[in-house]
Amino acid sequence: MKAMEFNSGKIPVWCPGCGNFAIWNAIKGALADLELNGKDVVNVSGIGCSGKMLNHLRTYGFHTLHGRTLPVATGVKLSNHKLTVIVNGGDGDGYGMGAGHFIHAIRRNLDITYLVHDNHIYGLTTGQASPTTDKGLKSKSTPSGVIDEPLNPLAVALNAGAAFVARGYSGEVEHLKELIKEGINFKGFAYIDILQPCVTFGKKYSYEYYDERIYKLDESYDCTSFENALKKVWEKDKIALGIIYKIQKDEYTSLHPQIKEKTLLETTGKIRDISEELQSFK
């Protein structure tokens, strides 16, 4: 399938200039480059402007509840590990509501790709502060300015033991597409935080704001070093794009003898003989 063919035919309803358009294009490009078939891909979407991605891809899709993307994705992938599972959600969805699931998904290292549309704000509910909103920023729910420290989700991921941590940017579509491809190809939990300007409610985090600060990691950067990675995610004035940390770890499905060969879908759902089981109650 060509990138274009991954259009569902539904016209996106994001605001003109919204960073979600670029993420959409990057995903379609990545799926096409990897020669994947829409029928073999499941996109699990959270609730928010980010989650609307679901409507625009010619793939299977699951629009879950707010914050509950990763448990759905886990259930799907364990049940049919032949599917490619991609998750799209916002920073409110993933770092607020879903923060617990995020940490535990990292612990599992299941082969799914998690794209967080990080606009540092709640878009769909018209502009309340999110867990990644900077201190002092005034929003609808924090009219006197945020007084909570912002979360550093990449640092959380690293410290929770994530094996693939990357950062992309809506202003760099080609680069983002390559990151998503790397994420899908990665055998494990691939986490990509995407700087996604919300042009309507996240005015501080504009394309100009990011363009002044971003730079791309190149070959000279060793992404297998945990120390390097920690330094990168705590950098103050500059923002590194690319794969910040990547190591190999046991992938979760491979730890289940139940699905070594066939999928759970293929092997279960049939009546079982339990006479031996019942013997033990005699």
Ligand X SMILES: Cc1ncc(C[n+]2csc(CCOP(=O)(O)OP(=O)(O)O)c2C)c(N)n1
Binding footprint of another protein on the chain (CB under 8 A): 1, 5, 8, 10, 37-40, 42, 44, 47, 54-55, 58-65, 68, 71-76, 78-80, 82-83, 100-101, 103-104, 256-259, 264-265, 267-272, 274-275, 277-278, 281-282
* 50 within 8 A of 89, measured Cβ to Cβ: yes
Question: Between 44 and 158, whose beta carbon lies closer to another protein?
Answer: 44
Rounded distance between C-alpha atoms, residue 159 and residue 240, angstroms? 18
Smallest gap from Cβ 195 to ligand SF4, in A, equals 12
Q: How far apart are CA 244 and CA 154, in angstroms?
A: 9
203 or 262, CB closer to ligand SF4? 203
User: 26-64: buried (b, 16+ CB within 10 Å) or exposed (e) per residue?
Assistant: bbbbbbbeeebebeebbbbbbbbbbbbbbbbbbbbbbbb
Rule CB under 6 A: choose which of 130, 133, 139, 170 binds ligand X.
130
How many residues belong to the site for ligand SF4 (CB under 6 A)?
Answer: 11
Q: Is 98 in the site for ligand X (CB under 6 A)?
A: no
Look at residues 11, 30, 48 and name the one whose alpha carbon lies nearest to residue 173: 30
Stretch that binds ligand SF4, among 11-19, 135-143, 230-238, 264-272 (CB under 6 A): 11-19
To which H or E segment does residue 194 belong? Answer: strand 190-195
If binding is defined by CB under 6 A, does position 204 make contact with ligand SF4? no
- Distance between CA atoms of 228 and 163, rounded to whole angstroms? 14
Q: Please, are residues 121 and 133 in contact by the beta-carbon 8 Å criterion?
A: yes
Give 19 or 188: the residue with its C-beta nearer to ligand SF4.
19
Q: Which of 29, 123, 168, 188 binds ligand X (CB under 6 A)?
A: 123
CB of 160 to another protein, least distance (A): 12
Residue 111: both structure tokens together = 């082969």
Of 19, 22, 29, 50, which one interacts with ligand X (CB under 6 A)? Answer: 50
CB of 263 to another protein, least distance (A): 9
User: In the chain, where does DSSP find H-type helix?
Assistant: 20-33, 69-79, 91, 99-108, 153-160, 173-185, 207-213, 226-233, 264-267, 275-279
**The binder of ligand X chosen from 66, 108, 177, 246 (CB under 6 A):** 66
Task: Show the CA angle centred on residue 260, arms to residues 256 and 264, nearest 5°.
Answer: 75
Q: Supply the minimum distance, in Å, between the C-beta of residue 236 and another protein.
A: 32
Q: Which residues form the interface with ligand SF4 (CB under 6 A)?
A: 14-15, 18, 20, 49, 119, 123, 198-201
